[in-house]
Amino acid sequence: MTNGKAIELEKRKAFEQEALPHMEALLRTALRMTKNQNDAEDLVQETYIKAYRFWDKFEPGSNCRAWLFKIMTNIFINNYRSKSRSPMSVNVDEIDDSFLYGQLATSPGADNPEQELFAKIFDDDVKKAIEELPEDFRIVVVLSFLEGFSYQEIADITDLQLGTVKSRLHRGRKLLQKELYDYAVRNGYIKDKTL
């Protein structure tokens, strides 16, 4: 075996061990970003092609999952987003911060009501509510609530300032609370205060 083939074989082996286990999470998030199965699969495929091409830039021992999500987010922003870019006006100022989450009957000591809510009720209504979020909010919400990335990791993945990530998550929460209130009442997670 030539030296070049041996190096390529090692690269492929390392890539398969480090990068391929994250495919399901990437596809799940790509589907939320693109709202289309075929586009999501194409986005993940492009992500893996680019990641393999630049595997020598990956630092062994660092967070491969976050690195892959950064690649995927950049591809999405540069390619897919421009295809369907239409400005959307959103007013979240009238939504109270505790509109839904403050009314949840969470378990004592729960320190993340959003993740607890999504773990309990993640079905078609919730998926639809997330998919209907404006894109800038949807990306950070998916990365935080569904993929469990920290604020700093989301900032690194999306190339946003930490304050922007926090602001978009805050506003995204408010929009989701408004959308999911009726759902939560209907399914008994909270009691309707108007009755």
Over the Cα atoms of the chain, what is R_g? 19
Distance from C-alpha of 130 to C-alpha of 140, rounded to nearest angstrom: 11
Say if pTM beats, i.e. exceeds, 0.85.
Answer: no
Closest CA to 129 of 121, 113, 167: 121
Q: Supply 177's token pair.
A: 């609370």
Distance from C-alpha of 62 to C-alpha of 55, rounded to nearest angstrom: 12
Domains of the chain in start order, with CATH, are: 3-83 (1.10.1740.10), 101-186 (1.10.10.10)
pLDDT over threshold 90, residue 132 = no
Distance from C-alpha of 177 to C-alpha of 94, rounded to nearest angstrom: 12
Choice among 48-62, 90-104, 159-173, 174-188 with the minimum mean pLDDT: 90-104
Q: Residue 98: pLDDT band by 50, 70, 90 thresholds?
A: very low
- Rounded to 10°, the helix 23-34/64-75 angle is 30
Tokens 């999501």 belong to residue = 40
